[in-house]
Structure 1
Amino acid sequence: MEQLLLLLLPKGRLSVHRVQLRLLPIVAAISAFLNNTPVVVIFAPIIKRWAESVRLPSTKFLIPLSYATILGGMCTLIGTSTNLVVDGMVMDAGYQGFTMFELGKVGIFIAIAGIIYMLLFSHWLLPDSRTVEQTTELSSKDSRYFRVDVVLGARFPAIGKNIFDFDFKRKYGATILELRRNGESFLMHDMRKVSYREGDTLVLLADEEFLTNWGDSSFFLMVSSNRGVVNTLSRAKRWVAVVLVALMVLGATVGELPAVRSAFPKVHLDMFFFASVVTIVMAWLQIFPARKYTKFISWDILITIASAFAISKAMMNSGVAEAIAAIAIRLTDNFGPYVLLAFIFIVTDCFTELMTNNAAAALTFPISLSIAQQLGVSPMPFFVTICMAASSSFSTPIGYQTNLIVQGVGGYRFADFVRVGLPLNIISFLISVFLIPIFWPF
């Protein structure tokens, strides 16, 4: 991905519009098949360094980068963990789950409209610059030390603690130079009353040992140095990894075809099957080291998914979902399922801006199922609406990890996300409510 990005970025200075036109469609296509967070983690620092080198404001590219990954994730079953969560709850409720590209019937239209919107309007809506590098001149004479930017994740052990109450240097072997939050910059002498928060960006003076020990730690959403990424894999193994991922997606897509299912009735040739095969082959070829076999598993996402199932089941069994559904139906009188579809989108979208998208989907899924059952209509339009709405996290930086990452890297303020993201939420809402009933009739 790093090599692809370097090819996409122009060698000379181009207009912001033309650079976005080269980047955003490719980023969206990539994130349809890969986790959004690592795409942003790899691309954001490179784009920022490139923008500074050609004297363009990086603020014009980083929020669009995050939004493009979100839009791409809407288009496939594996584009975001939320789609997998909803798919699991759909099958648990006794319905047939989504195929690999089924959600793309609507997701692709939202993605295209969203990219066009950013190409046309983001240049005016985004700030020209956020100059927060007021302290990043490194005075160390030791060449072993260099600048590293890290974005704090929810699992960072000092979240909520005062900065001076947690010995960061002793724990991680790096010195804090600066803390950035919501477009503001705090120097060490300004931090006496500051506590760590999720999404904070720390500018560190660190060495290679820090990158080795903490470069892929779950404590940090992003670890980026001005030295770039060093590839430890051979060129052949890198190409093998790319081919294996492509074969995984192709295999899962073909395995869902009716002819293939009838030919192999006793074997479930689904995404889990092919992902397992690819993982085993990658381990056998030593594409990733044995000591990291379990490190690449997103345990927090798996726990969230399990919790989502539990929340959904509890709401169904307790009657809470049925009661909320009855109230919603009464409030809309005789307007029918279309208004309720809009209601589900708005509620899910509001939840996803304030909490994780998986939790938002878990809360609204049982309500949607109860609404469909009480109306006597197909629940599939409601399920697809949840997928689209839960991913439409554009208006706040706290609703999606990639937004938090680019907020710190670009020095954005909360209002920047509202100004650019709210129209994108409205675009997603209108397209979803109009198209979903066409592809999945009530």
Structure 2
Amino acid sequence: MTFEIIFTLILIAGMITALIYDLMRPGMVLFSVVILFLCAGILSPKELLEGFSNKGMITVAMLFLVSEGIRQTGAISQLIKKLLPEKKTTVTKSQLRMLPAIAGISAFLNNTPVVVIFAPIIKRWANKVNLPATRFLIPLSYATILGGLCTLIGTSTNLVVHGMILETGRSGFSMFELGKVGIFIAIAGITYILCFSNKLLPAKRPDVVNEEEEETPAEELHRVEAVIGPRFPGIKKTVKEFGFERHYGATVKEIKRSGQSISKNLDNEIFREGDTLVLMANENFIPTWGESSVFLMLANGKEHEEDEKQRKKRWLALTLLIIMIIGATIGELPSMKNIIPGVQLDMFFFVSITTIIMAWTKLFPPKKYTKYISWDILITIACAFAISKAMENSGFADLLASKIISMADSLGPHALLAIIFIITNLFTEVITNNAAAALAFPIALSVATQLNVNPTPFFVVICMAASASFSTPIGYQTNLIVQGIGNYKFTDFVRFGLPLNFITFILSVFLVPLFWEF
């Protein structure tokens, strides 16, 4: 092996280790690796920077703002309230009403705000109708993931792979192209959830801190649940050392983590990303910190009244979203490509217009727009393009492709498709989905090139596998959010999610070659 291949192997192994052990935020881990590739001469400055100007990455950034505009108008929260039965019902009937709609919403909006809005509403509703919330919250996260498989904008991973395809000079995916397979996986996944959630998900796990017992009306304090985000400044510090009450004016009463509820000796407990904190706070806590990036979710169990102005904004937001989707879909038709010479009527074009209109109509606060963009995800995506290029430049991708081909030489492209899925899916369960796609893409391209077959089936499989993070809570942010609020254990995700990984694997390997020939 050459120096470049050995150097790349060491850096990739180090990157995966750093991501697994959460030594730094994913964006900084990948950026560090990219800089080392630059120092070794494997990447040029131009190649390093290409990801930061990639159309797919910038589209993801603007979709964060579109999702925020929809969220702030209350459009999707009103929808879930209408879907939840008001009378006595069963888990299966309730799931049948809500899961297809949730999957449909997440096909066009960022998954995280959908879960952040729906999770507390569903938990509150479940307690009201005396059903276990634990039978709804993991299904909520899984339904958003399944919906994201069906469209180009359903998840950032699809846009990352789309952007990498464009970088190779090929045509990327159209808006609903991935839905040829994604819709079957979504239907099968929702059917699995309906059939087995009662058997495989735990019964209700009550909170240690009881809301009625802890509430103290004289001081106007009430119970608030807050999920710690990556920007929380107290991560890896003890409760006493950080001084939560001094920082936020609220008292930590309970920490929920991996199915455990910790309410004693809290001063010595260390804050971790994804922890759900049960707080006693006053009325100002959520208005003050609701838009802060230090918390992934805040919920106090109270409804917010809306006025006529808010209703008008909601309809405007929904109208803009529908126009964006229809415009991007129609704009990709061959007959539309010559209507406005020199202008490409694709998703990037329409999401740009939608974002600007939402800003000027103040569907999200335009002066605070930077708060609503997950910069770490964008840096991760931008660096993912560079790492993928480094794997190609060094010859590492070709070497791995040769090894994979030799392993399945007699079995044909279908077996290689299965191997690419397994590699990508294993990566996505232990590191970020975008990093998993970045590692798998150059390998898949090299496999297809060496076999002289169409690479598109491999690219589609990467999209399916990189998003199919069901069997651990750490692979996908929505899983991390519901883990705390639902008080789930790590094993709950393994037991319920692993069969869903297998279903996605079987359907992907079987269906993809039917729609995209080798």
With normalisation by structure 2, the TM-score equals 0.83
Partner of 1:100: 175
1:348 pairs with 2:388: no
Letter in 2 for 1:366: P
**Does the CA contact (< 8 Å) of 1:135 and 1:178 recur in 2?**
no
Give secondary structure in 2 for the equivalent of 1:293: helix
**Does the CA contact (< 8 Å) of 1:354 and 1:398 recur in 2?**
yes
1:296 pairs with 2:372: yes
Partner of 2:439: 363
Report which structure shows greater RCO (CA 8 Å, sep ≥6). 2
Partner of 1:183: 259
Partner of 2:189: 114
**Does the CA contact (< 8 Å) of 1:135 and 1:177 recur in 2?**
no
1:312 pairs with 2:384: no
1:287 pairs with 2:363: yes
Match of 1:131 among 206, 212, 223: 206
Partner of 1:174: 250
1:83 pairs with 2:166: no
1:211 pairs with 2:263: no
Letter in 2 for 1:68: A
**Does the CA contact (< 8 Å) of 2:209 and 2:253 recur in 1?**
no
With normalisation by structure 1, the TM-score equals 0.97
Match of 1:398 among 474, 492, 497: 474
Distance 1:230 1:36, change over 3 A: farther
**Does the CA contact (< 8 Å) of 1:132 and 1:183 recur in 2?**
no
Residues of 2 paired with 1:98 and 1:229: CA distance? Answer: 40
1:59 pairs with 2:128: no
Q: What is the Cα deviation at residue 192 of structure 1?
A: 4.2
Which has the higher mean CA deviation after the structures are superposed, 6-15 or 206-215? 206-215
Partner of 1:264: 340
**Does the CA contact (< 8 Å) of 2:215 and 2:222 recur in 1?**
no
Partner of 1:149: 225
Q: What is the Cα deviation at residue 231 of structure 1?
A: 4.4
Partner of 1:254: 330
Give secondary structure in 1 for the equivalent of 2:214: coil
1:239 pairs with 2:312: no
Kindly provide the CA deviation profile for residues 18-40 of structure 1, in whole angstroms up to 9, marking residues without a partner as x.
00100110100010001111111
Q: What is the Cα deviation at residue 147 of structure 1?
A: 1.4
Which has the higher mean CA deviation after the structures are superposed, 128-137 or 419-428? 128-137
Match of 1:380 among 453, 456, 459: 456
Residues of 2 paired with 1:431 and 1:118: CA distance? Answer: 16
Give secondary structure in 2 for the equivalent of 1:185: strand
Residues of 1 paired with 2:175 and 2:460: CA distance? Answer: 13
Residues of 2 paired with 1:261 and 1:158: CA distance? Answer: 51
1:164 pairs with 2:240: yes
Kindly provide the CA deviation profile for residues 239-262 of structure 1, in whole angstroms up to 9, marking residues without a partner as x.
111111111111111111110012
Which is helix-richer, 1 or 2? 2
- Structure 2 gaps, min length 5: 1-75
Give secondary structure in 2 for the equivalent of 1:204: strand
Residues of 1 paired with 2:193 and 2:94: CA distance? Answer: 12
**Does the CA contact (< 8 Å) of 2:215 and 2:221 recur in 1?**
no
Which has the higher mean CA deviation after the structures are superposed, 210-219 or 380-389? 210-219
Partner of 2:83: 8
Q: What is the Cα deviation at residue 131 of structure 1?
A: 1.6
Number of residue pairs matched by the alignment: 441
Letter in 2 for 1:169: E
Letter in 2 for 1:204: L
Q: What is the Cα deviation at residue 311 of structure 1?
A: 1.1
**Does the CA contact (< 8 Å) of 2:108 and 2:151 recur in 1?**
yes
Letter in 2 for 1:313: K
Match of 1:28 among 95, 100, 103: 103
- Structure 1 gaps, min length 5: none
Sequence identity (%): 61
Which has the higher mean CA deviation after the structures are superposed, 200-209 or 421-430? 200-209
Partner of 2:515: 439
Match of 2:275 among 197, 200, 206: 200
Match of 1:339 among 410, 415, 431: 415
Give secondary structure in 1 for the equivalent of 2:462: helix
Partner of 2:299: 224
Letter in 1 for 2:127: E
Q: What is the Cα deviation at residue 347 of structure 1?
A: 0.8
Q: What is the Cα deviation at residue 391 of structure 1?
A: 0.6
Letter in 2 for 1:197: R
**Does the CA contact (< 8 Å) of 1:216 and 1:223 recur in 2?**
no
RMSD of Structure 2 on Structure 1 (CA): 1.4
